[in-house]
Amino acid sequence: MKEVKLEKTKWLDIFEPNADDMLKVQRRFGLHPLIIDEFSTPTLRPKASEYENCLYLAIHIPLFDKETRTTYPGELDIVIADSTLITAHDKDIYQLTEFFNDLKSSKKKRDLFARHSPGKLLHYIVEMLLESCFPKLDHITQKLDHVEEEIFAGHETEMVFEISVVKRDILNFRRTMKPQRTVIESLAQKDYALIENELRPYYQDLIGTNIRIWNALESVKETIESLEDTNNSLLSNKLDTTMKVLTIFSAVLLPLTVYSNILAMSAQIPFGNNPFGFWIHISIMIFLGLITITLFKIKKWI
């Protein structure tokens, strides 16, 4: 549990909260037992709940796992009490940790946020976390550009798995971001005692930021679906071409096979005593093959 003190606000940040941490926080700030339960158990959906002496929020931040190459939701529990902001999270949220450490280590940074109330500091944190989504969206766009280049470079088969990875990343990103809007809207529209009325326009602006993120997610979703359709079409076309070649090859060999089988059934092979008999039969087979190919061309099958 880490703590930084500003002029008007005290900020406690708890990474991987345990029972002892929660007991200390409850005794120190008199938090409702339901809040302690929320801190101790994962919250599947974002929520905002107001209690007698505090406001509890649960939001989810899209985080990226480099090993699985996909986005996953990182839960952030927030409590606003009188002149106090408490944050708790099981996953390392880089932007939040960096901001906290900057406040703790830099007097200049603390002076910059010294007059911030807990509600104002919360706005800055939520804004910072929302803005951090745009570089992640830019990274997804770069991956889409790479997929597009590889598809039209003739690597359709290799891109089937890559497209699936990017689609899963976008899907998880969307599943994380979509429910957050209700919490942000509640901060902008409801009369919470610990959120100053003059902060409403600032939280209203966060709704716009959330909409921009969602529109970007819609765009990349449509792009990856279009790329998948294109990739599937090119793969199907390649398969059709391969099957066409194999079919033509089989059709050309069919009369040659019939001819060779007829020779095998005959008691006396035509031109069997001719010293050039082998080459005569080879020539006949080549002639049959050419006739078959010519017929295919006349029918415009090849």
Same domain, 158 and 255: no
Same domain, 64 and 212: yes
So what's the pLDDT on residue 266? 60
Same domain, 55 and 143: yes
What is the Cβ-side half-sphere exposure of residue 238, based on CA atoms within 13 angstroms? Answer: 12
Burial profile 19-53: b = 16 or more Cβ within 10 angstroms, e = fewer: eebbeebeeebebbeebbebbeeebeebebebeee
Same domain, 128 and 164: yes
Same domain, 189 and 83: yes
Same domain, 248 and 225: no
pLDDT beyond 90 at 137? yes
* pLDDT tens by residue, 218-276: 999 999 999 999 999 999 888 888 888 888 888 888 888 888 887 777 667 777 677 77
Same domain, 59 and 135: yes
Residue scoring higher pLDDT (162 or 295)? 162
* pLDDT tens by residue, 16-55: 888 788 888 888 888 888 888 888 788 888 888 888 888 9
pLDDT range class, residue 175, cuts 50, 70, 90: very high
The boundaries of the domain holding residue 57 are 2-237
As a whole number of angstroms, the distance between CA 124 and CA 130 comes to 10
Mean pLDDT of 166-177: 93
Q: Are 203 and 187 in contact (CB under 8 A)?
A: yes
Same domain, 169 and 292: no
The reported pTM is: 0.79
So what's the pLDDT on residue 38? 81
DSSP class of residue 30 equals: -
Same domain, 52 and 141: yes
Q: Where a domain ends, among 203, 237, 271? A: 237
CATH code of the domain in which 29 resides: 3.30.460.20
As a whole number of angstroms, the distance between CA 145 and CA 150 comes to 9
In angstroms, the first-to-last Cα distance of the chain is 74
CA dihedral 242, 248, 251, 256 (to 10 degrees): -110
Domain count for the chain, please give it. 2
Same domain, 58 and 204: yes
* pLDDT tens by residue, 73-125: 999 999 998 888 999 998 888 899 999 888 888 888 888 888 888 889 999 99
Same domain, 168 and 284: no
Same domain, 59 and 97: yes
